[in-house]
């Protein structure tokens, strides 16, 4: 004999109920790389990428001392160039996208002005 689970109305309702923690007001669980404003993020990118490029471009003239610009560039980018790019997308989309959860399905929608 196999044991069968019978579904009661309570378990069916609980399965179809959206997660109460998944509201539009919650922050994403992942890291936040966004800056306070787009110009600030672009300045960080210019400083970070400039320092990374300068560290390798000055290598023939200055020698290994120019590699000291690498940590400064990575600090300005908050880790790596991909981290900066993710932060750029977060900075641009902040305030423009809204997550809404209805009937157990969550979706991103453009926030109306």
Burial of 101: CB neighbours in 10 Å, binned 0-12, 13-18, 19+: middle
Q: Region 82-102: what's the mean pLDDT?
A: 83
Q: Evaluate if residue 49 carries a pLDDT over 70.
A: yes
Q: Evaluate if residue 58 carries a pLDDT over 90.
A: yes
What is the pLDDT at residue 31? Answer: 67
Tell me 30's DSSP state.
S
């Amino acid at each position: 004999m196999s044991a069968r689970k019978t579904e009661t109305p309570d378990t069916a309702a609980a399965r179809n109920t959206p997660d109460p923690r998944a509201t539009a007001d919650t922050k994403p669980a992942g890291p936040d790389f966004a800056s306070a404003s787009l110009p600030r993020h672009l300045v960080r990118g210019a400083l970070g990428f400039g320092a990374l490029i300068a560290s390798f471009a000055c290598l023939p003239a200055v020698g290994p001392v120019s590699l000291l610009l690498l940590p400064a560039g990575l600090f300005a980018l908050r880790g790596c160039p991909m981290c900066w790019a993710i932060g750029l997308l977060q900075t641009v989309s902040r305030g423009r996208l809204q997550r809404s959860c209805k009937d157990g399905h969550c979706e991103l929608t453009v926030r109306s002005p």
